[in-house]
Structure 1
Amino acid sequence: MNTPPSQTPINTAFYPREFEEIILEKSQHFIDRTFIFTAFNEFLHHHNRGYFTIVGVPGSGKSAILAKYVTENSNVVYYNAQVEGKNRAEEFLKDVCQQIVETFHETSLHPIPDNATEGSWFLSLLLQKISDKLEPPQRLIIAIDALDAIDRNSQPLGTNLFYLPRYLPNGIYFILTRRPFKREKSGLLIEVPSQILDLSEYSEQNWDDVPSYIQHWQKMKQEGLSDVALKVLRVLTSASKGGISASAIAQIINEDEYEVEEVLENWLEFLVQQRIDTKTNYSFYHPSFRNWLAEKLSNGKIE
């Protein structure tokens, strides 16, 4: 991990140009976090296939982490759902299948059929073909950045995001990044080994970024701040480290608990959830972001 990102070669032969540019740009913003790559390597060592997900709020460095991994590991298939025009299932399947075919010279499935983007059938077939050819310790790793950016309307309800396979053959792995989410709203139903690494659990290893705080705040108030939302904000910025539950907030501000939960749901990507007994406590993802908001409140600059 000591090679300067700007000098790190990447396997550019099979990446679309817009992805190549993202990888080079993001990897230069990488801050060394060995624990993440250690965790992923341990996952690879202990499981013969599976999904590994890095979860973090905006500005936590997810994209830089994934880009750095790609630059230092050859034959990793890469996709970024935040690139314009790349948040639909058909685009994902077309790009990723093409990368896999070219990387592993899978000529038996080339050219890719026109209906390859109609569900997961072709991707699953392709992954099985590659799996059959792999010899330990060979692996196929598919990296997908910003899974939360997907246009869910681009595919039928109840299907996995990007039609990602429910089952995986041996030697096939996905490494994903996304913002915080409720497990029941993950958009993925999988029956293979999986692990989630939540960057909020390593907050001391994240970095403070005031420009990001400004962007986060703009997004939090983009629909306008209701009286209830403003009251919730005041409670959250004064809450203890362990956070506070929706019912406790509702009691403090004398508002309906459902309305409080609605505000928290809208801000979920900027909050950390901690389960205590039967209740879920909420707090901002980083103390410095909470302090930044508290200062704006005290100075009357929150509007």
Structure 2
Amino acid sequence: MLDSNKVKASEEGKTRLREAMKQAKLTQEELAEQAKVSVDTIKRLLGTKPAPNGVERWNVKNIAKVLNISPLDIIHHQDWNQHLQLPQEFEPLIKEKIRSFCGRAFVFKEFADFLKKYPKGYFTVIGDAGMGKSAIAAKYVYDRQAICYFNVLQDGRNRPELFLKSIRQQLINRYQLENAENDDLSALLVKASSKIPDGENLVIVVDALDEVEQEPGGENILYLPKTLPDKVYFLLTRRRYEPSKKRLYTEGVEQVELDLTASQYIEFSRDDIQEYIRFILNHDKEWKDGLRKWMQERNIADKTFIEQVAEKSENNFMYLRYVLPAIARGFYNDLSLTQLPDGLQQYYQTHWARMGMNKKDEEIKVIILFILVEIGTPIPCEMIAKIAGKEEFEVQKVLDDWVEYLKKQNIEGDDCYSIYHASFLDFLQAQRALQAKRQLFTEVNQRIVDYWDRIMQN
């Protein structure tokens, strides 16, 4: 591994460096003189001289400054940011979100263009549940080790004070800020902006603004600043909602929105979806064999499978996350390709019906899921069992049956469960409304109240 102060040019970077030198009409010797570096340094970056130990970062910065390009045009962002670290609180989430990540190059290109065009600003990626907004945010953070915050409704990690606490600590650590422990976000950004190295920007990624829990009012969502210092940018993600709920008011700061559902991006999204299916089909060790077996039994060619499943997904990655493993596990052995569910909501409804959730003797399954909905934060199997009035092994079996829809995490030695994705939470809440006549929701609430009463009495 290279010294963190040294880096190597990527293959694309070598090409970009040559182009920039040509545009600037500078020879290697002239560039070296103006950048105050050696000619050998230029040659190492161009790849015409061996560079086993890389070159110093400050040399790359000087060269980029002379050529009016970014150091990241020469050095791959992962190599450039190798000395930085992901925040520990989000590292597991980030790594889970980018597993099998495919495509979305058009999003990153538009954001890169935004950074070049404006001196500061807010760039928001908008899309429906399951379209990969969080994965886009996670991929950007992972590649660039960016400062970030992921709002997670199911974990109760979605309030302004938690956001500020996390971002404050990340900024203090990265830029060695002093006397900033009590600063608000605006003050923090002003202090940090004075320490941003030449040729770099400060990008803060904030995921899932639609999941933020904040009192209604005139303030911006998460109290994001109305004004920003130069070289400071926010990359935001959220679902579509009414303009009145936007709550992002700025002065002299550019706002750009990229809506993944817009017509100009449909073809790009379809290509990304097909790329993802192709990747799982050919490279995913866990599911590819099961998928191949299902296809062979029905004599389905790769091209046909990829195109038709992509069509059924309605450009929704969450649909694929559920349907492809379900096919591989044999859950759809009685169905043909054309009989697979159309879209994420129909998939949830189909799974609900096939699991027998509407049958009277399966009520306990519904009650357990409703408990997770109503509690809203991760809870252990033991607590679910006590609320439901069932044995732990019975509850664990239900949790195991719904494992792909639930998030399992170890908290203080206990395996705790919560709803994995907001789209499934939405579906369950709709089912809760449908179950009103059977009074299951009222029963679940009463069981929760009784449980807490017992806890208080002991």
TM-score by length of 1: 0.62
Match of 2:266 in 1: 203
Residue identity matched to 2:111? F
* Superposed CA offset, 1:55-75 (max 9, x none): 01111011111111111113x
1:131 positional shift: 1.4
Match of 2:112 in 1: 41
2:55 corresponds to 1:16: no
Answer yes or no: is the 8 Å Cα contact 1:54–1:177 preserved in 2: yes
1:15 positional shift: 0.5
Secondary structure in structure 1 of the residue aligned to 2:240? coil
2:149 corresponds to 1:79: yes
2:182 corresponds to 1:182: no
Residue identity matched to 2:261? S
* Superposed CA offset, 1:102-157 (max 9, x none): 01111x234x13xx4xxxxx21111011112224321111001111100023xx62
Match of 1:166 in 2: 226
Structure with the bigger RCO (C-alpha within 8 Å, sep 6+) is: 1
* Superposed CA offset, 1:221-268 (max 9, x none): 65349xxxxxxxxxxxxxxxxxxxxxxxxxxxxxxxxxxxxxxxxxxx
Answer yes or no: is the 8 Å Cα contact 2:175–2:195 preserved in 1: no
Structure with greater helix share of residues? 2
2:168 corresponds to 1:97: yes
Match of 2:433 in 1: 223
Secondary structure in structure 2 of the residue aligned to 1:60? coil
Answer yes or no: is the 8 Å Cα contact 2:119–2:230 preserved in 1: yes
Alignment partners' CA distance in 2, 1:222 and 1:53: 32
Alignment partners' CA distance in 1, 2:114 and 2:229: 16
Residue identity matched to 2:199? P
Sequence identity percentage: 36
* Superposed CA offset, 1:87-115 (max 9, x none): 11111000111001101111x234x13xx
Answer yes or no: is the 8 Å Cα contact 1:77–1:143 preserved in 2: yes
* Superposed CA offset, 1:267-295 (max 9, x none): xxxxxxxxxxxxxxxxxxxxxxxxxxxxx
Secondary structure in structure 2 of the residue aligned to 1:78? strand
Alignment partners' CA distance in 2, 1:134 and 1:72: 19
Label 1:11 to 1:221 Cα distance change in 2 as closer, same or farther (>3 A): farther
Secondary structure in structure 2 of the residue aligned to 1:133? coil
Answer yes or no: is the 8 Å Cα contact 2:120–2:231 preserved in 1: yes
Label 1:89 to 1:11 Cα distance change in 2 as closer, same or farther (>3 A): farther
* Bigger-Rg structure (1/2): 2
Alignment partners' CA distance in 2, 1:221 and 1:186: 28
* Regions of 4+ moved over 6 Å: 7-12
Among candidates 72, 95, 109, match of residue 179 of structure 2: 109
Match of 2:140 in 1: 69
Structure 1 residue runs without a partner (length 5+) = 1-6, 117-121, 226-303
Alignment partners' CA distance in 2, 1:132 and 1:165: 17
2:202 corresponds to 1:130: no
Structure 2 residue runs without a partner (length 5+) = 1-77, 274-312, 314-318, 323-343, 349-423, 436-458
Question: How much is the aligned-residue C-alpha RMSD, in angstroms?
Answer: 2.6
Label 1:203 to 1:103 Cα distance change in 2 as closer, same or farther (>3 A): same
TM-score by length of 2: 0.42
